[in-house]
Amino acid sequence: MTAPRSTRPVIHLDDLRAPVLTDLQRGAIAYARTREVSFDRVTLLDAARARVRLDDFGDDDFLGRLGAMTGAVEADAGLNELGRMIVHDRFVRLLAQRLLLTDLLGRHPEILEIELEPPIVVIGLPRSGTTHLVNLIATDTRLRSLPFWESCEPIPAPGDGPGRDGVDPRYQRCGRAYDAQMAMVPHVRAMHHQHPQAIEEEIELEDLDFASYTLEWHARVPGWRDHYLALDQRPHYAYLRRVLQALTWFRGPHRWVLKSPQHLEQIGPLVDTFPDATFAVTHRDPVAVVQSAVTMLAYGDRVRRSAIEPEALAAYWVDRVERLLRACARDRDLLPPARSVDVLFGDFMADELGTVGAIYDRAGLELTDRARRELEAFTAANPRGKYGQVVYDLRGDFGLESDAVRERFAFYFERFGVVAER
């Protein structure tokens, strides 16, 4: 019997080096040239104050980190006006959210007394199955998770409650931004589908303390990378915990499922902050991770950068992935053996429910019939490649040979038994 032919499109991004822009993309870039964008610290702080009509940011130690971020962005000569506008607006949004959180905790100090139940934390490289795994687990309604719309504006402004239709205005704003992004760069959907209801990384919450590695995904900022890597992340992970308490105060349950690639190089602070957590560490061939990540970034660069530099982009992320994995290999044994499990990408793809069951066993969480039905429904509705299969060309697009890249990660293959994807 012949298997039915897949109707999912095959996506060839054959213009990564010399992008052919659409009218919409050209229009967005032209509009950004009309915007006055300043990364002056006082200007950013004042813009946030004006947005939410508050003025207390809490502890001001974040100002130095904000300055390190803005300085790194200013040093990125290749970021065009649209790219600068995107980063600027992100800074203002984060600062406004910090103001709202400080105000909320001041009015409701009981939030910090909320007991969080032991979370399940997914740790792994971007593009290694972490997104699919956390979205799968998050379908279990016994667990609290962070949808993308909530990660963008975790703390509502006073009076900014649901309308008569019962829809949160933050969800509506996220939906409009999502629609704009899909119109601008539609193939992102096939690589990392950040729709409003998708479960997002809690690193977006740590960003309110201006201490995460997220900026590296928005600009070429080695200066910020070095500043970030020198930070003691314990106080910033403690800040993250406070944000989670605030979100739990708004709505439960009290047991979270979390995930972030950054945790790979912050296992010590992570365990100190969530000592009772269960940890699932995903592993995948770093070549597959790198080619997926840099292709996605290069595709977005057509609208946010004035120059396409695929070799430089690839070199940065090969190095960045190596740093993440060397830290993981160094610190993996800090995770409690009885409450941690390594998840190979191939094993997860072959048995999604079995993988979740193994994680639940470590977490002491029963895989009930209801939970199984919820997981099965998500798996059926979200097959791999749902929005198309991207064809990658590491050599042609980025000048890299797969075997040469793979050799850099011999330590990782040996440490975790990772299987090369040919």
For residue 352, the tally of other CB atoms under 10 A from its CB is 20
Q: Which of 320, 218, 226, 346 is nearest to 264 (CA)?
A: 320
126/374: higher pLDDT: 374
What separation, in Å, do the N-terminal and C-terminal C-alpha atoms of the chain show?
A: 28
pLDDT of residue 402: 96
In sequence order, the 6+-apart residues with CB closer than 8 A to the CB of 162 are 168, 169
Q: Which of 347, 361, 348, 356 is nearest to 376 (CA)?
A: 356
Average pLDDT of the residues in 242-261: 97
65-80 per-position pLDDT tens digit: 999 999 999 999 999 9
pLDDT of residue 7: 60
166, 204, 348 from 259: Cα distances, Å? 29, 11, 16
Domains of the chain: 10-22+119-416 (3.40.50.300)
pTM over 0.85: yes
- Residue 388's pLDDT band, with cuts at 50, 70 and 90, is confident
Instruction: Please state, in angstroms and rounded to a whole number, the distance separating the CA atoms of residues 43 and 60.
Output: 16
Return the amino acid letter for 20. V
Average pLDDT of the residues in 353-366: 97
354-391: string of b/e by CB count within 10 Å (b at 16+)?
ebbebbbebbebebeeebeebbeebeeeeeeeebeebe
Strand, helix or coil at 305?
Answer: strand
Distance of CA 186 to the CA centre of its chain: 19
307-324 per-position pLDDT tens digit: 889 999 999 999 999 999
Residue 211: its H or E element: none
Instruction: Please state, in angstroms and rounded to a whole number, the distance separating the CA atoms of residues 147 and 188.
Output: 18
